[in-house]
Amino acid sequence: MSTAENKKLIEEAFVAWANGDGMAFFNLLAENASWTVIGNCPISGTYVGRQRLVEDALKPQRAKLAGPPTPTVMNLIAEGDTVVIQWVGKGTTKSGRPYNNSYCYVVQIENGRIIRGTAYLDTELVRSIW
């Protein structure tokens, strides 16, 4: 895929997510994708395989929230197979507290699938809801 196609793929996934499909972006991960959450919080680490990420990080984190955070993309940069997404997610914890986090995802795309990703986020905020 071209740089423009990779960028559009990610852009469309975030639009779908913002419109209520909380898995739209994560459904782009290849089955054997590698995903790293930077930092030191309950979900930090490297996950090999889409299912591992979903089961061991995404579901436990979202279990603390009233629903998936609603994303707003602030910046989207693409070069070759790499796309960088700077975004903010607004949500609420199950206890009613605001959960507004800032993220930067750096992903590599191959044949329309994310094969590798790194997530930078406010890990202290994540820790605070566990």
**3-state secondary structure (DSSP) of residue 38:** coil
What is the chain's Cα-based Rg? 14
**Structural domain tally of the chain?**
1
Show the domain range for 36. Answer: 3-128
What pTM was computed for the model?
Answer: 0.93
Q: What local confidence, expressed as pLDDT, does residue 77 receive?
A: 98
CATH number of the domain residue 73 falls in:
3.10.450.50
| DSSP code at position 47 | E
Which tens digit of pLDDT belongs to each residue from 13-23? 999 999 999 99
pLDDT of the residue at 119: 98
The span from the CA of 83 to the CA of 116, in Å, is 11
End-to-end CA distance of the chain: give it in Å, rounded.
39
- At 28, list the tokens: 């782009």
Averaged pLDDT of the chain: 95
Q: How confident is the model at residue 45 (pLDDT cuts 50, 70, 90)?
A: very high
pLDDT at position 67: 86
Long-range contacts of 90-95 (CB under 8 A, 24+ apart): 91/65, 91/66, 91/67, 92/65, 92/66, 92/67, 93/64, 93/65, 93/66, 93/129, 94/64, 94/65, 94/66
d(CA 78, CA 89): 21
Instruction: Kindly state the tokens that stand for 99.
Output: 């959960």
> Would you say residue 29 has pLDDT above 90?
yes
pLDDT over 90 at 130, yes or no: no
What pLDDT digit, counting tens, does each position of 58-103 carry?
999 999 999 889 999 999 999 999 999 999 999 999 999 999 999 9
Note the pLDDT of residue 109.
Answer: 98
Instruction: Work out the average pLDDT over 108-120.
Output: 98
